[in-house]
Chains A and B, each alone.
Chain A
Amino acid sequence: MSEGAAPVADPEGGPEGLQRERTVLAWNRTGIAMIAVGLLLGRFAAANPFSVLASPALVGVGGGIWVLWVTSFRPGGLDGASNRLRRRRTTAITIIALVLQAASLVLVLSGVHPPHPSETRPDAAGEEAG
């Protein structure tokens, strides 16, 4: 049996080690998920005027989260101020997600949907008629 490797020094130097880096990555993934939902919402843009505004707003919020969290990452310990900021971020992302869910629900229930590709294909009507 080989000897175990020597313990690696904490690359961040802080008490929380790589935990904070993983948390920043989790925030990034959440921002990317929000951008993806924003792009999907964009499919409704032609059919529903609401999503003309909602889709870019959402992509902007997602991109904003991504950029903010990447640039705000600082190696080192967490102090009282950064803990307060973390609590506010958590509240903010929940409210944004709930607003998004409500907007999506309104869009779906409004009954004005983008047409399915098979409904807009010019030869589809011809095939049915023939």
Chain B
Amino acid sequence: MRHPFTPPDASLGKDPDYRYSLANERTFLAWIRTALALNGGGLAVVSLLPPFARIGREVVGTLLITLGTLVAARSFGRWRSNEESMRTGSPIRPSQLPGTLALGVTVTTVVALVLLLLDTSR
């Protein structure tokens, strides 16, 4: 089994067109920035918002940072998979990252909404 951070196999197929390879790298970096933004958002919620619903800040912050961790971890696999597909000339597999992100943000938003409603009703 491969190490999770093993780079794409350079002996596989042939070098892809640089333009596509660099575009793949930029997409990966955009996902990493998304992960950093989620992390920053989580830290900001905990350190800048006034306390609400007893542990509301911690719950929302933890959800955001966990989502950021998932995005960062999966973006590397996605980059590697795309790179290997381009090397072998096989079709690029559909990405699950946008779905993961959308689901994560929805869950976080619903949780934040419930916590806010609980806080205001007290």
Binding site for B on A (CB under 8 A): 15-17, 19-20, 22-23, 26-27, 29-30, 33-34, 36-37, 40-41, 43-44, 77-78, 83-84, 86-88, 90-91, 93-95, 97-98, 100-102, 104-105, 107-109, 111, 113-114, 116, 118-119
Contacts and interface: CB of A to CB of B under 8 A. Distances in A.
Contact of A86 (B25, B30, B37, B51): B25
Given A87-B10, A97-B35, 7 more contacts: A16-B22, A77-B18, A93-B29, A93-B32, A94-B73, A98-B72, A108-B65
A17 B58 CA distance: 46
Interface class of chain B by DSSP? helix
7 contacts: A16-B22, A19-B23, A22-B22, A37-B39, A41-B43, A108-B46, A116-B48
Interface class of chain A by DSSP? helix
B33 A33 contact: yes
A30 B33 contact: yes
A40 B30 contact: no
B56 interface: no
B36 interface: yes
Contacts of B69: 98, 101-102, 105
A26 B30 contact: yes
A105 to B, nearest CB: 5
B40 A36 contact: yes
B14 interface: no
Contacts of B32: 30, 93-94, 97
Interface string B44-65: 1011111100000110011001
A104 B42 contact: yes
